[in-house]
Amino acid sequence: MNQQTVYIVYFSPAGTTRMVAQALAHEASTAGYPVVSLDLASRSTDVKVVQSRISKGDILFAGTPVYANHPVPVVMDFLAGLSETEGAYAAPFVTFGAVSSGVALREMATMAKEKKMTVLGGIKVAARHSMLWQSDAPLGKGRPDEKDMAEVARFAQAVMGKASADGKAGPLPEDALNYQRQEVQEAAKAAGLHVIKPMLLPFDVNIDACTQCGLCVENCPTANITLEEGPVFADRCVVCFNCVRVCEPGAISSKVLPFIEADLHKRLDFFREPAETVAFV
């Protein structure tokens, strides 16, 4: 049994990032590490406990879906809330919907370095685009597949191998996660959840169609919905579309959703990022 702990902290509205997190946890426990997994959607008080426990020699795998070229804010907030932990290791992971992984890995690594952690690696995992659940041929269809998940396993083993080499293997080179072209980086600066939110919200609500089933409340990863006569939204929405997706009677709907797929396809030429899983170690 290893002395050090592997922490796996992630946010995953549609479940793909969770699937990667579970694969990392499997590799870590197979390698004999104690594993602590934390889903940032669970709203538990464990967040502060985990933030305070990560210490020298521990490995933190922090994961997020890419939203509008960036990590989801709750994941960055988690990293920002860490104390300075010299000697602890970090390895960010992202899943992206075959459009662009943006600057998410780089931003997470930069934050981990600000906390004096040693970044040992990062991985971007190609995934089905979570906004396109109604599509027959969504971007990233069938991903991550077996090959992607094998790459995730290799990544976990490589990171743990570097950590157990006790610093001798060295951190990831400074620029390794800076893989986007300059114009994509510029576009990412102008993008973000705060930019797309006003374009995608508010959703339309049809109170008469609501059966009070509660599925929207259960599936909202930010506890943003309360049920009155129908769903009532607070302001913590990350536009994951879970509530629209699970509401079978269609009491929650989006006018813009039907136009999103065509719009995303138009952007592919600009981003030119292959729908591939790539590990940087």
CB of 235 to ligand FMN, least distance (A): 16
The residue to which tokens 């083993």 are assigned: 157
The residue from 19, 76, 149, 213 that contacts ligand SF4 (CB under 6 A) is: 213
DSSP 208-260: GG-----HHHHH-TT--EEESSSEEE-S------HHHHH-TT-SEE-SSHHHH
The residue from 176, 196, 246, 278 that contacts ligand SF4 (CB under 6 A) is: 246
Phi, psi of 207 (to 5 degrees): -60, -35
Contacted entry of ligand FMN, ligand SF4, none for residue 99, CB cut-off 5 to 8 Å set by kind: ligand FMN
Nearer to ligand FMN, 33 or 93 (CB): 93
Q: Cα 214 vs. chain centroid, distance in angstroms?
A: 25
Contacted entry of ligand SF4, ligand FMN, none for residue 100, CB cut-off 5 to 8 Å set by kind: ligand FMN
CB atoms within 10 A of CB 272: 9
Q: Is 186 helix (H, G, I), strand (E, B) or coil?
A: helix
> Does residue 132 bind ligand SF4 (CB under 6 A)?
no
Paired strand residues for 61: 8, 91
> Does residue 75 bind ligand FMN (CB under 6 A)?
no
**Which residues neighbour 18 within 8 Å (Cβ) at sequence distance 6 or greater?**
10, 12, 39
Contacted entry of ligand SF4, ligand FMN, none for residue 216, CB cut-off 5 to 8 Å set by kind: ligand SF4
- Cβ proximity of 127 and 277 under 8 Å: no
The residue from 71, 73, 92, 97 that contacts ligand FMN (CB under 6 A) is: 97
> Does residue 17 bind ligand FMN (CB under 6 A)?
yes
Judged by CB under 6 A, which stretch of 24-32, 38-46, 99-107, 216-224 contacts ligand SF4? 216-224
Q: What is the dihedral of CA 90, 44, 218, 19, to 10 degrees?
A: 20
CA distances from 111 to 19, 40, 90, 124, 180 (A): 24, 17, 10, 17, 18
The residue from 127, 237, 264, 281 that contacts ligand SF4 (CB under 6 A) is: 237
Nearer to ligand FMN, 58 or 107 (CB): 107
Most distant CA atoms of the chain, gap in Å: 64
Read off the tokens for 40: 């940032």
Judged by CB under 6 A, which stretch of 67-75, 87-95, 99-107, 247-255 contacts ligand SF4? 247-255
> Does residue 33 bind ligand SF4 (CB under 6 A)?
no
> Does residue 98 bind ligand FMN (CB under 6 A)?
yes
> Which residue ranges make up the site for ligand FMN (CB under 6 A)?
12-17, 65-69, 95-100, 102, 127-131, 239-241
> Which residue ranges make up the site for ligand SF4 (CB under 6 A)?
13, 210-216, 219-222, 224-225, 227, 230-231, 233, 237-243, 246-247, 249, 251-252
